[in-house]
Structure 1
């Protein structure tokens, strides 16, 4: 394998082959930084596939120029996270020698040994279908953002583990089984796709990764976090960060879509009760900040999900045209 500088990478005949799949939507600078990090990986047997979801910032030309060995797939429109990933998966699985797919957001930095550690863990447990690292904040490198997540079936479907936990010493080597992994970095064995298929395109964004892990679990695949593997994530660049209208809308809509597919009666009772109690409090809190529209959009997300309506035009217009609009007010970049 030859990297972008023309240097021959070492080949390992018995080493599993990995396809690294990255999504980009008008995030050229972040994406180029992520690709730089990917090309510093020690692992020798991988290829990079990048799906561009209808960018309008000349991302494709910049990426092709800087990284000519990257396999670039350009979609004419923004297909969302699930749709964009599925476009890449379909192309990747046509190659019979691909053993794993590593999903990365376009705003992450990887430690150079990350892929070696993830593949070693997956190879060491035949039941392990999805594996990921400890994810820390890019802006606070020793503070954990996620160590996997657990299903809670409340106003959101899953909650991140160990969020804001400070890493004060070297992490112990090991594997911790979890309910789900965030899509910013997860290694998935080919057998998972052959068993459960791809991501559900009903989830434009938010909950698509949790739903995928949930179906994998039902099919008997374990999900785990490699505790000595690290990655740094520019959290929430996809929606501007914080409690924004676009993020609130998609989170609530996806929660209802998930419940319709997988929820039991007690799951519905828990989720709707939490939503009913939290929305009024959130409105009062955000009104003081001048951000009450985010709560309104969250409520609309619940309604659209319950009634089976398409994505709210206010949100859809922004993500399809790639222009700043009323959905989130400020400048927003999306990892898809």
Structure 2
């Protein structure tokens, strides 16, 4: 007897993304996988998104939130109302290929220890290149700075087949994140303190600390516009990136071992970023870095529901070096130029 295909729910969180829904929903609807449904969770949009979906996509399950809860809170509330074996968290500004689901599900079904996987994420604007958000899998350095294979800071590689091998990574991008429903529930979903940015890294790290694996699937490809909600120059995005990087360490490192040491190092490195913003005339971004640190310090004195892990069960995808030092000082601008012996 042939086992039925696992049920997959492709869940798109929307906030004022009418143009993206019009442009990219047709590609999602054309997915070749035989047992999937599309769910759009609306985060209290003020444009015509909801009316458009009701009029043009009656077959899509539409779930609405009463207010904009951000990426984290929005998904937490929407996924409580979705029934499937797998959730796929898909950004509204992503174009998918017809066969993008099957290879990822096959990979995840091959090992009960796999909790999360992501496809190859390439740029919609230049389809021969990787995209900033995820590229060919995410890694993290010894000081807690995340980076991607295929994109280091502002240097993006073209896809020449150099990352066509699937394998274990440290984190998977939230732009197109596949997760087993049981694992989503076991981890408790997203930490809503993050609001947006790095919340998927936090989720991946927590699952790794529980003994699960995070995978990159090279046999599936999607194309991401990127920056669809917050512009790259938005000071609020700067604030979230710096604040959330510190929350990431606090959430997932044993408190008594190294989180304070690494946080101290981050304060020094972030100070360099603050000064750089000032010299570039970006005073609002400099103030955002300062506010991020103030918020983090305040959070240390607040009761936090998540317990610190007793041990780190998997450090696969950790880079025992500094990506900032290697990139800016040693001028290592491509992933393959990094010392591969430093990867766990």
TM-score range (shorter-chain normalised) is: 0.7 to 0.9
Find the counterpart in structure 2 of residue 167 from structure 1: 159
Find the counterpart in structure 2 of residue 147 from structure 1: 136
Q: Distance in 1 between matches of 2:89 and 2:129?
A: 22
Shift of the alpha carbon at 1:210?
A: 0.5
Q: Distance in 2 between matches of 1:204 and 1:193?
A: 17
Query: Is 2:111 aligned against 1:122?
Result: no
Per-residue CA deviation, residues 229-256 of structure 1 (Å, 9 max, x unaligned), is 111111111212x232121011122122
Could you tell me whether the CA contact under 8 Å between 2:206 and 2:252 is conserved in 1?
Answer: no
Change (3 A) 1:48 1:304: same
> Aligned match of 1:68 in 52, 55, 58?
58
Q: Distance in 2 between matches of 1:137 and 1:231?
A: 8
> Aligned match of 1:272 in 267, 270, 273?
267
SS where residue 230 of structure 2 aligns? coil
Gaps of 5+ in 2: 254-258, 301-344
TM-score of the two chains, using structure 2 as the length reference:
0.79
1:1-336 equivalence runs, <5 A: 14-92=4-82, 95=83, 98-145=84-131, 146-152=135-141, 154=143, 157-163=145-151, 164-169=156-161, 172=164, 174-240=165-231, 242-263=232-253, 264-285=259-280, 287=281, 291-308=282-299
- Cα-Cα RMSD: 1.9
Change (3 A) 1:180 1:70: same
SS where residue 202 of structure 1 aligns? helix
Shift of the alpha carbon at 1:218?
A: 0.6
Residues matched between the structures, number: 287
Find the counterpart in structure 2 of residue 329 from structure 1: none
Could you tell me whether the CA contact under 8 Å between 1:144 and 1:162 is conserved in 2?
Answer: yes
Gaps of 5+ in 1: 1-11, 310-336
Shift of the alpha carbon at 1:13?
A: 6.2
TM-score of the two chains, using structure 1 as the length reference:
0.81
Could you tell me whether the CA contact under 8 Å between 1:43 and 1:113 is conserved in 2?
Answer: yes
Shift of the alpha carbon at 1:106?
A: 0.7
